[in-house]
Amino acid sequence: MLRKIAEFYLWLVRALRRIVDAVLWAIRSGLYWGFLLIAPLLLIWYVIGALAHKHEFRDKDEFRGAAAITNDPIDQDVAKENISYLEQNWDEEDSLWFYSATQGSNLLPYDFFLHLEQLESSDLFRSNEHINRFRYLPQDASVSNPDGLPLGMTKDEYQGREYMGFTCAACHTSQINYVDDSGVAKGLRIDGGPAAANLEMFLIELERAMVRTRKNPQKLARFAAAVLTGGAYKTAQAVADDLDRYIIRIGAYNLANKPQWQRGNQKGVTHYGFSRLDAFGRIYNRVLQYLVEADQLRAVLDQSLPGDVLSAANADLVALYEHEDQTNLVLRAVEIINPYLEKLPKAERDALWQKMWAQIYNPANAPASYPYMWDIAQSDFVQWTGLVSNGGIGPLGRNVGQVIGVFGTLDWQRKKGWSISSLIGGQGIESNHIDFKSSIDKRNLRRVEEHLRKLWSPVWPNAFSAIDVDKAAKGAPIFVERCASCHANINRTDPERRVVASISKIEALGTDPVLALNSVNYKGHSGLIQGEYVEAGAGELVLEPVNPVASLVKFSTKNVVTSFDPDKFPIRRAAEWAWDTLQASEKNEIKATMRRGNYNPGTTVNPFLPIRSYKARALNGIWATAPYLHNGSVPNLYELLLPKKREGDPDVDEEGNPIEYRSDTFLVGSREFDMEKVGFRDSGYSEHGFLFDTSLPGNSNAGHEYAAGRTGGLNGEVFAPLNKAERGYLLEYLKTL
């Protein structure tokens, strides 16, 4: 608390100094009357913009809300008192604020999530044991989480309604379990660590539980009675009607991102499983969905739906196309046509949905590991492909993009005239503009980014087996020779540290290319923003009817950043926007720079070629971030130093000894740590784990085989393969980072 008070007073002194400087400048310039005129406005801006923010640093639970893990289907149970935290420069208040700080995510009505029952029982869907199945971390109630929601789930308010949504922590907080010398199971919570969550399974099960509740009279009666106690609904029928609406909406989202609908996939279905998500694909799809205009939607439905369905729904669809409110057209159309499609056989219905979605969306078929968050604010480029520059207000745009992906409400539509937001967003002064109104909480996104600047990477715990100092010392020069050119070694506690990404084209790395190729190759209808200009790295592009989705996302996120908060009165929303934008830029010490590394530069023909690459970053704390490679295809650091077995590779060496290769299949889902191989337990729990099959599209475990002598460095040099002892030295050194 003393540290927080000191930080506040230092900030206040700096703010007062700025005001004094402004007054002195006005006096020196002889602008007395001008200053007197603008002084009240400056004061209002200062009070509203600077003092109206609410950092909730008041939750001091010593366990940071961590709940006991019981009846775990994969690992040993862990008692609450046996869950602890490593030193990462955050205290209890810091962690708990991060866990519950809303970003404007609105998955479903808050009371629905509180009271929804599980599919096969009357137990709550959100119960600790059930939520642990999806590998979200259970939490006890605390000041900042009064209803005891899982870590990373929180209450958001938008336009007078309350929703359950996700926070950054849902995907970026992890737990590592181990058994101590006395046989007691213990857990280490890692702030900013990659989550083990399975969002795909969570959303499918959520939809199924909602459908069962709607169809089962007893479940529906219990659910409606519980929801009515919250006061957001007046009647049980209103609850049932809204339940229908969210079943359709979440169902439509699940269908649009269904892995089975991968185009041209003949090798099987690439489900995400634990610890992964195709965030790019899902963000891309949500942007495309909300850019759809009436003419495009009409064409899609006319080409996809049977004549009898079109005829039956025609009046409602025409009313939708011609309605003054053109927000969320796709969702509203789904609500209209769904009752007619539900009458069709399932195979026919699924084929129709697939035909419709193929004209709007791209397959979200490139799942990637959740990235770790320490040093993210000190990095020059972020995302697995190095897509986003972290300079200036870049982090704000990047965070806006991820909230779009995790269910921010997007009320985008065309409006007459112009607005300050649209002018700043690059739309110019035209006869009409696109209003990018949304639930996205840019104030909290800016705060989260500032909060992450304090976060340190975790160091190898004393509770683990001791690091062999001699082996680590032998591994250090191997790291310098083979790894340091891409993975710089930094001081994790240095407030001035900088992480310069090394960008390598996919051809040089040899790792699975699907994510990078999707990022560049995916295209979609520009809809609302057709004809606008967007900066694409190699100059500005005019958005044609069909464009790379990367350009559509860039324009959309920029305009969401420039839009004001619709839940606040006009003066406050303008003042807070100006303050937050200024703070986001001023407090970000990262400058916009050129990419560094071996990548393909952008051209006017293809300005997004640089992101046909993957990014390397500093490896401090790498021991806590399994599984490895961008797609999580290697279970531990030990195997990362091995080659992938290819057709024709021998099973034994010249002396008859077995040759070790990376695993082609392994299990994920366990939190139990393997201290020797540095990763999570990857066998022995097939019933409840997820089988990772590296033969499926997007799952290749090839590439990045520097230790095996198969991948060339930045200069193309290929080193001789390390022997078993040398690999052991390097692995021991990696534990020290």
Residues 481-497: tens digit of each pLDDT: 999 999 988 999 999 99
Phi, psi at residue 166, to the nearest 5°? -95, 150
- For the chain, the farthest-separated pair of C-alpha atoms sits apart, in whole angstroms, at 91
User: In terms of DSSP H, where are the helices of 323-359?
Assistant: 329-341, 346-357
Measured CA to CA in angstroms, residue 554 lies from 364, 400, 596 at distances of 18, 10, 21
Do residues 618 and 636 lie in contact, with contact meaning Cβ atoms separated by under 8 Å? no
Determine the residue type at 283: I
Residues 80, 15: Cα–Cα separation, whole Å:
42
Q: What is the pLDDT of residues 613-630, one digit of tens each?
A: 999 989 999 999 999 999
SS3 148: coil
Structural domain contains residue 399: yes
pLDDT at 1 over 50: no
Give me the mean pLDDT over the 323-352 stretch: 92
Q: Which domain holds residue 17?
A: 2-51
Residue 664's Cβ-side half-sphere holds a number of Cα atoms within 13 Å equal to 5
Q: What is the pLDDT of residues 498-542, one digit of tens each?
A: 999 999 999 999 999 999 999 999 999 999 999 988 887 667 888
Q: What is the pLDDT of residues 68-89, one digit of tens each?
A: 999 999 999 999 999 999 999 9
Structural domain contains residue 15: yes
> What is the rounded (10 degree) CA torsion for 470, 476, 481, 487?
150
SS3 597: strand
615, 632, 666 — which closes off a domain? 615
Phi, psi at residue 293, to the nearest 5°? -105, 170
Structural domain contains residue 25: yes
Measured CA to CA in angstroms, residue 685 lies from 75, 642, 668 at distances of 9, 24, 9
Residue 608's Cβ-side half-sphere holds a number of Cα atoms within 13 Å equal to 22
Written as six digits, the tokens of 359 are: 């004209």
Structural domain contains residue 100: no
Q: What is the pLDDT of residues 8-32, one digit of tens each?
A: 445 555 555 565 566 566 555 555 5
User: In terms of DSSP H, where are the helices of 522-628?
Assistant: 549-562, 570-586
Q: Give the chain's radius of gyration (CA, Å).
A: 26
Of the candidates 239, 245, 252, the one whose C-alpha atom is nearest the C-alpha of residue 111 is 239
Residues 201, 601: Cα–Cα separation, whole Å:
38
570, 587, 615 — which closes off a domain? 615
Residues 617, 502: Cα–Cα separation, whole Å:
7
pTM of the model: 0.92
Structural domain contains residue 563: yes
Of the candidates 309, 311, 294, 454, the one whose C-alpha atom is nearest the C-alpha of residue 373 is 454
Structural domain contains residue 634: no
- Residue 358 has a CB neighbour count (10 Å cut-off) of 15
Do residues 385 and 583 lie in contact, with contact meaning Cβ atoms separated by under 8 Å? no
Written as six digits, the tokens of 702 are: 């090839």
Sign (positive/negative) of CA torsion 687, 688, 694, 699? positive
Sequence-distant (≥ 6) Cβ neighbours of residue 324 within 8 angstroms:
none
pLDDT at 54 over 60: no
pLDDT at 389 over 70: yes
Give me the mean pLDDT over the 89-96 stretch: 94
Phi, psi at residue 17, to the nearest 5°? -65, -40
> What is the rounded (10 degree) CA torsion for 417, 423, 427, 428?
80
Reply yes or no: is the peptide bond before residue 601 cis, omega within 30 of 0: no
Name residue, tokens 């379990």: 177
Paired residues of 166 in beta bridges: 153
- Residue 12 has a CB neighbour count (10 Å cut-off) of 12
Q: What is the pLDDT of residues 228-286, one digit of tens each?
A: 999 999 999 999 999 999 999 999 999 888 765 554 444 567 899 999 999 999 999 99
Paired residues of 158 in beta bridges: 161
SS3 650: coil
- Mean pLDDT over each residue of the chain, to the nearest integer: 89
598, 615, 632 — which closes off a domain? 615
End-to-end Cα separation, the chain, in angstroms? 30
Q: According to the model, what pLDDT value does residue 37 have? A: 54
Residues 236, 229: Cα–Cα separation, whole Å:
11
Structural domain contains residue 412: yes
Residues 35, 642: Cα–Cα separation, whole Å:
68
Counted domains in the chain: 2
User: In terms of DSSP H, where are the helices of 587-690?
Assistant: 637-640
Buried b vs exposed e over 679-706: b needs ≥16 C-beta within 10 Å?
bbbbeebeeebbebbbebbbbbbbbbbb
